[in-house]
A and B are shown apart, each in its own frame.
Chain A
């Protein structure tokens, strides 16, 4: 079975700094593979282990995104395709178009896996857009995937319900992080990842005649965290009382 996994190279939200005016310092910011993408890679590797086949990592990113691709290759994916374009500068529909074009070029695939959303934007729009662009069955928010023959049985988690969906293959499926625990690559795997094939393509090569599709983001600012940050220390009976008194004076305790 051939599986494409879409991953994103993202600015690490935990390391992102803002200046005194609240402007993010995105240039030179620490980056990583988008957190939940590891769950998608892990699921692909588990399916490969039981059905054999190939796992291909597909990324829309600048050449720096090879870092995230290597991480996925170190986990056990077989090869990678980088569409050389900056997803931060384009609208999500364009990202999904480029992913779709790269996946079509590498076809046939039995399954396309994505994370539910990325750890930077978390718009959760790209996976269903990709399903729509490819004209394939799409199932979102999978917490369990079973493949048998030419169909997949997917358990998906919604806010108030769980659904079991049957989808013929090929299909696009997005996974939630509860689906598995991503493996850690070994040192040897990390060293060998650099030797695995990584193909780089330009957007124009896979989607000729592209017009501009700029991002809809006009600006980004730090969110003011206007919290009081009063901290009580001392013996538990004293701090417990102080905390309850403070909460009572805020009027947030039941009378």
Chain B
């Protein structure tokens, strides 16, 4: 069976990651894949077959509009598999497509393959404690876990443009503010030092940032520090409902290691922890741990690092 796959995301870089998965399943089935983008993003897309949807107003401004446009075109060309990047907007678009097209749908799927009339894949459930094997009957929609596939480079192939005219939306964007960039890029960080409740005062976060600076890493935190205490902006929050990270080294300082935090760091190469409580679950999820007071261990680490760099 020769299948047709769509790789879509409202973000070009995520679309090119989805394209890697689409290319894989198209190849094994002898099928083809199309990378689908919105508005003016065509030149940034990977793949030999590119389709860009355009409307009178920018489609990327509204997941509702993007889903309506995608559904319209999908009804004409009927791709067997529609892969969408599992960003927050991507999950909304996938859900809307599933209902509009009457198709099965799953989110945050990775390791996708084709198996007979099914799209197979895995997804993490119960805050990462379990992994579920999914089998979606074709035709289907699947939102792919972000960061699970390599990003394919943009290709010089010329995109096919498809104008969809006017797309009505029920809601209106009044304001859009980009979060401060440059201060934190946890998703791409190679080394992250992360702070938890073991840090007693906001001012003491300098210990964490000093250690991160000495190691050349970024600063993250567990949910209480950004959400309850408000010591760090929300984009530093690592975990199930925050950012998922995959650094070479994740160093958790004063973090107890709740499942929902660990769910966001599972893909780290090496995990280390510093905690004064020997029974903290964080040690179970770590390769290396130091049982000790972070207020004594971090200065000792800084001193040791200072000596090594001299």
Interface residues of A (CB under 8 A from B): 11, 13-14, 16, 18, 24, 36, 91-93, 96, 116-117, 119-129, 131-133, 136-141, 153, 157-168, 171, 176-178, 181, 216-223, 225, 227-233, 236-237, 239-244, 246-247, 250-254
- Provided the pairs A220-B132, A222-B130, A239-B292 are in contact, do residues A128 and B283 lie with their beta carbons within 8 angstroms? no
Given contacts A232-B289, A252-B269, contact A140 B88 (CB under 8 A): yes
Chain B 262-310 residues near chain A, CB threshold 8 A: 266, 269-272, 274, 278, 283-293, 296-297, 299-301, 303-305, 308
11 contacting pairs across A/B (C-beta < 8 A)? A13-B127, A138-B92, A160-B181, A165-B173, A216-B136, A220-B132, A221-B131, A222-B131, A227-B271, A237-B304, A254-B215
A162 to B249, CA, bound (A): 29
CB atoms of A181 and B270 under 8 A apart: no
Q: Is the interface of A mostly helix, strand, loop or mixed?
A: mixed
Which residues from chain B sit less than 8 Å from chain A, CB to CB? 63-64, 87-89, 91-92, 94-96, 98-100, 104-108, 123-137, 143, 170-179, 181, 191, 215-216, 223, 226-228, 234-235, 240-241, 243, 248-249, 258-260, 266, 269-272, 274, 278, 283-293, 296-297, 299-301, 303-305, 308
Q: Knowing A13-B259, A16-B126, A123-B106 touch, does A163 contact B215 (C-beta < 8 A)? A: no
Among A157, A177, A254, find the residue whose CB has the most chain B CB atoms closer than 10 A. A254
Q: Whole-angstrom distance between the alpha carbons of A255 and B288 in the complex? A: 19
B293's nearest neighbour on chain A, judged by CB, is A236
B98 touches A129 (CB 8 A): yes
| Known contacts A138-B92, A166-B171, A227-B287: A252-B191 contact under CB 8 Å | yes
Main secondary structure of the interface of B (DSSP, over half): mixed
Bound Cα distance A244, B272 (Å): 10
The residues of B that contact A119 with a CB separation of less than 8 Å are 127, 260
How far apart are the CA atoms of A92 and B132 in the complex, in Å? Answer: 15
Q: Is the beta-carbon distance between B125 and A121 smaller than 8 angstroms? A: yes
Q: Which residue of B lies closest to A121 (CB)?
A: B125
Interchain nearest-CB distance for A215 vs B (Å): 9
The complex places the Cα of A166 from the Cα of B170 at a distance, in Å, of 9
Q: Which residues of B contact A242 (CB under 8 A)?
A: 290
Given contact pairs A14-B259, A128-B92, A177-B227, A160 touches B104 in the complex (Cβ within 8 A): no
A46 to chain B, nearest CB (A): 17
Residue numbers in A under 8 Å from B136 (CB-CB): 216
